[in-house]
């Protein structure tokens, strides 16, 4: 007798034997794999630390420039990300770098750093102002560019 069940990995509905737990062999294999995050994987932790270090160094270059030069720099960073530079995309749209509650990617720690934030936070503000979309939508080419090529 077949019963309608819920897969323990992908939570999809499926019909199967009474003792069947997963909808497919692929779900069974994926469920037994360890999660790739900084707590479980030394390699992922090192990768994240390198990303945060790179974000902090680029943010330091950005925030030490006069404000009138920053718009051009941000435009260049976004153009790099839109062209497919994966590291720049990750720096500008990473959820931990966007979070204002932490200092990840902020080159200026302490009271002074609170006013600057990270490069991802500055990019989010820039994209919200000029594209009226999130930084993630802009750098992954989801948000359309203005028809006339001018960012309003």
Q: What angle do CA 100, 101, 107 make, to 5 degrees?
A: 65
Report residue 83's pLDDT band, with 50, 70 and 90 as the boundaries.
very high
**pTM, entire model:** 0.70
Q: Distance of CA 39 to CAs 33, 42, 81, 96, Å?
A: 15, 8, 28, 15
Binned at pLDDT 50, 70 and 90, residue 101 comes out as confident
Query: What's the pLDDT band for 81 if we cut at 50, 70, 90?
Result: very high
- Percentage of the chain modeled with pLDDT above 90: 38
Whether the pLDDT of residue 120 is over 90: the answer is: yes
Is 118 in contact with 145 (CB distance < 8 Å)? Answer: no
């Amino acid at each position: 007798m077949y019963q309608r069940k819920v897969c323990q990995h992908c939570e999809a509905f499926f019909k199967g034997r009474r003792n069947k737990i997963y909808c497919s062999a692929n779900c069974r294999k994926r469920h037994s794999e360890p999660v790739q995050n900084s707590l479980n994987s030394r390699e992922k932790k090192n990768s994240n630390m390198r990303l945060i270090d790179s974000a902090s160094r680029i943010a330091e270059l950005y925030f030490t420039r006069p404000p009138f030069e920053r718009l051009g720099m941000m435009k260049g960073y976004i153009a790099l990300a839109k062209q497919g530079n994966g590291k720049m995309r990750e720096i500008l749209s990473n959820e931990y770098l966007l979070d204002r509650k932490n200092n990840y990617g902020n080159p200026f720690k302490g009271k002074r750093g609170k006013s600057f934030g990270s490069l991802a936070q500055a990019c989010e503000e820039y994209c919200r102002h000029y594209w009226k979309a999130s930084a993630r939508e802009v750098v992954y080419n989801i948000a359309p560019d203005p028809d006339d090529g001018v960012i309003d």
